[in-house]
Amino acid sequence: MTRIETDRLILRPWEARDLLPFAAMCDDPEVMEFFPDRLDLAGTEAVIARLEQRRRDGGFGMLAAEIRATGDFVGVIGLQRVPYDAAFTPAVEVGWRLARAHWGKGYASEGAGGCLAHGFSEGLTEIVAVAHVANVKSHAVMERIGMSRDLAADFDHPALPAGHRLGRHGLWRIARPAPHGPPERKRPGNARPQPVGLDISR
């Protein structure tokens, strides 16, 4: 997994030119609302190195996203193997984090949808997403790309200490669509679509 293209976006491996705009994102309190800490330049550099190592090791990766027409950096969108143990792992998750200037333009849904198509074309039978239970903006993206929340699967994120204010996360799922059919929403017995985070750095 090295490159995914959609109508407006290119998702690709990280390059040196991405560091400063990504660092600005990682220091933006609104972008980082559902992350434990904002990051300085060194912390951002470490995150990029970690994401690239996961891509090389796991075959899927959280990629740098840019606008096709201009090359402007948008943020990070991609797939990765969930890097912690939980009741639903092993699993591959889709995730995104965008610079505030690019919110509200449909880039997260477009890029994440491209990632779902890529993952299913590579043989995945299910893709998940996780977000803090109060992160309704991410919930909305998950709903738009056809995912459904598994209400029985809420969990405390294992990378955070017990009782942390950001600990409680929800789980969304989508199954590989049948040939020539729309995406199938995987709904456990008590699951229902939610009106509508993700931690890509751990």
Band (191; pLDDT cuts 50, 70, 90): very low
- The number of residues making up the chain comes to 202
**pLDDT for 199:** 41
**In angstroms, rounded to a whole number, what is the distance separating the alpha carbons of residues 108 and 142?**
9
Does residue 147 or residue 183 have the better pLDDT?
147
Q: Round to whole Å and give the CA distance between 176 and 128.
A: 11
Asked if 54 and 83 count as a contact pair (C-beta separation under 8 A), the reply is: yes
Give the fold, CATH level 3, of 4-175: Aminopeptidase (3.40.630)
% of the chain with per-residue pLDDT over 70: 88
Q: What confidence score (pLDDT) does residue 12 get?
A: 97
* Residue-level pLDDT at 141: 98
pLDDT at residue 180 in the model: 63
What are the residue ranges of helices labelled H in 14-144?
19-26, 41-58, 107-121, 136-144
Q: Rounded CA gap, 124 and 57, in Å?
A: 17
Task: Please report which residue ranges of the chain form alpha helices under DSSP H.
Answer: 19-26, 41-58, 107-121, 136-144
The rounded distance, in Å, linking the Cα atoms of 1 and 13 is 9
Tokens 């899927």 appear where? 60
How does pLDDT run across 28-84, given as a tens digit for each residue? 999 999 999 999 999 999 999 999 999 999 999 999 999 999 999 999 999 999 999
Q: Which residues lie across from 169 on neighbouring strands?
A: 132, 155
Q: Per the confidence metrics, is the pTM higher than 0.85?
A: yes
The token duo for 42 is 């060194």
The domain limits of the chain are 4-175
pLDDT at 185: 57
Q: Give the pLDDT confidence of 69-110 residue by residue, as tens digits.
A: 999 999 999 999 999 999 999 999 999 999 999 999 999 999
In the prediction, which pLDDT does 200 show? 44
Beta bridge partners of residue 94, listed in sequence order: 79
Q: Which two tokens stand for residue 124?
A: 């995945």
Give yes or no for a contact between 186 and 147, defined as CB atoms under 8 angstroms apart: no
